[in-house]
Structure 1
């Protein structure tokens, strides 16, 4: 219905539709990749039912979907980077939440769903200090890397990763939440430095542990 209405508004035929027209429609209605693929599937199925060649099978559409995804990921990364730079680095519990939120936002810019992010293990994320990026391997063997727009926005993915590893390393050494609270509340943002070295890069425990009371 959305495609029909959009075509009618532009005096175009929705059935049959050309690949170029479908690409224009997808570009005019940005959405996540899964939504764009569903739209493409519905329009393709309608063309099949009426005996028309499906516009969504062409290389033009695949290129349009990939280009749209790249643009959206770049925009997301730029916005996420700006948010991360404004997160607090001290005080309890804001300092702890900020470290975890920065890690989550950084991973979200890869295009992974939050279900995929929640399933990540420590060994699935590798920091590359040379390019200031994180290489991420999801449990379903999807591989990706954090986009450069994060760094352009002033956020360092490797620093975000290190600061979260510091939390996990401290928790491995000291099991007291009270000690962590005191340390962060009286520190200047660098109070956990060095504790990231306690974490084995091959550790298969969850990367983003839940924070309870």
Structure 2
């Protein structure tokens, strides 16, 4: 009886693990199709995140003989605990959002709402430092150094225009890369308006106007004439002697800033902190230093959250307060 009892429970356990693996394998064919149905309703970046994050969760479940769809609260809590030491808080939140979305697509009970998961997430987040690393603000002084370090060849003309337009419009790197000639409206004083058609916090494309100063507009015209661009993407990859047809990739904007900072002879610690967000941050900091209030800054940069802007300009506000005390 003892041997039969052991054999019976062993077979039951093996059948359960086999069934779990079959479910996971079947779900691998269906959850991707479910995410595909979201095409057009969400940005490509969001859909890539959903696919990547649920793939990681699904693979972890298979490796641990657990079911990913539907996932139990204990499974999701264990996944969070396993991922927490390696991931930043925002990445952990994004993973959870992807898992939650896939469950909703199948009208399944959402394990992320269970108290066990909420406690696991809270425990993981308490182990993290909440203060994010902020990009160095490309203030006017730094901007002018990078502009001066941009030569008169085709790449230099592009980079000069990109830095000046990025600073003026306070565009995110993706918004800057998406600008087109057709989005520009010349004004009588030599300046321009640039239509920023869509942003990550503007999913339905209401758009906003970015101001381009006369100096930046002149640099932009010089680049467009030299590159023989009369329509389509404003900023493009430069090949030896000619400009390509495709838009500059958003990730390359940070690299361009770093390259021009190196050419300007700036210290390595400054170069390392520059990113595609630096022009946006620096312009906001300069506006505060010149007495602008938060709300006009938010309108200029297309921010919806006052907390984000406040974090960007905090160091400038503290410096102003210190000067008033002296």
Where on the TM-score scale, by shorter chain, does this alignment land: which range? 0.3 to 0.5
- The structure richer in helix per residue is 2
Q: TM-score, normalised by structure 2?
A: 0.27
Q: TM-score, normalised by structure 1?
A: 0.37
Q: Which has the higher contact order (CA 8 A, sep 6+)?
A: 1
